[in-house]
Amino acid sequence: MPRQKKQEKKDRGLFQRPPGSGVWWINYYENGKQRREKIGRKSDAIDAYRDRRLAIRRGEKLPDLKRTAPVMVADLVDAVVLFTAKHKSARDYVCKAGILKKHKLAAMNVNSVTPGDIQDFLRTHCKTAATSNRYAAFLGLAFRLGMDNKKVKTNPVRVKGTHQPEPRGRLRFLSREEYDQLCATIPPEHLDEFVVSVHTGMRLSEQYSVEVSQFDRKRRAIDLDRSKNGDGRTVHLNPPALAAIESAVQGRKRTDRIFPQEVRTGAKQERFDTRSWFEPAVAEAGIPRITWHGCRHTFCSWLAMAGASTREIMEAAGHKTLAMAARYAHLSPQHTQSVVDRIAGTK
């Protein structure tokens, strides 16, 4: 009997739950309030109980026992939207977030998501390699931000095989004859915009954001404060582009945009609309498979056919890497001639 009392005294403040499971808890009181903690091994529970009692006597602060809500994938998706709110592609992130939050993946605990769960979503939802890669990049950013905020332990997107090889699309550009046909069908009030697009290669967001103060007539240049890559660059103007810009800036203030138009705003991003007048003009001219971005392809392709090097094309178009500009190298007459000459052993 005395031995049993001694055992009960030794295990005071400790109990198993469920009984016989080997999982030990501690039970103690702080300022009259009962506190219970799940510890694990009995030896660890004995040490924890002793530490808590000692801390109470010293008046030290005890660990917070409030249960925190589990973090779901949907929470990480929302964090991405906030993180990219000022990004030029913010609207794309919002769109992808809306689609992701409707999938069963969004309701999963972030620390229980496996690479297989990611692959299952990409395989069942994405029809093309390009779409799969865009969603994989979105989810990769979501889990990376979660790791930075100590909400996620690992990134299940960073596994081999997640990125899919994308087929290289055909570069559609205008011939000189097609360019002349379009100039004849485009409404006169929009002709300057079209000419500048083809002869400068500016991206749509660059061309329609530039102000009159950024145009330098003496240098025949436009200084872009920020391009798609985040860096500023200078756009040099050839005679057709210079004439179109001078025509467009007449009667405008320095703070006005060179090509003002009604702008739709969504997700804190300006969306410039050229389809309303460009597509009807293309249809009237009978030119197939050309979009506004094809004007930029036309600029780069014409440079290549005029003998510009890959680096010259990269600098003129504001590409970030040589690989982007190298897509037009096959159009260079020097490139074609050098390839043909190889079979004859000439240089």
With tokens 């205008």, the residue in question is 174
Question: What does the pLDDT look like over 133-160, one tens digit per residue?
Answer: 999 999 999 999 999 988 888 888 877 7
The number of beta carbons lying within 10 Å of the beta carbon of residue 78 is: 15
Dihedral Cα 299, 301, 306, 307, nearest 10 deg: 120
Question: What does the pLDDT look like over 71-128, one tens digit per residue?
Answer: 899 999 999 999 988 776 788 899 999 999 999 999 898 888 889 899 999 998 888 8
**Residue 1: what pLDDT?**
47
The number of beta carbons lying within 10 Å of the beta carbon of residue 222 is: 23
Stretches where the chain sits below pLDDT 70 are 1-10, 64-68, 88, 161, 168-170, 228-230, 262-271, 332-347
Fill in the amino acid letter for 93: Y
Per residue, what are the HEC states of 265-294?
Answer: EECCEEEECCHHHHHHHHHHHCCCCCCCHH
Q: Are strands 263-266 and 221-224 parallel, antiparallel or unpaired?
A: unpaired
What is the token pair recorded at 285? Answer: 């001219």
The number of beta carbons lying within 10 Å of the beta carbon of residue 310 is: 19
Asked, as a colleague might, if the bond just before 260 is cis with ω within 30 of 0, I would say: no
Angle formed by the axes of helices 90-100 and 129-148, nearest 10°: 90
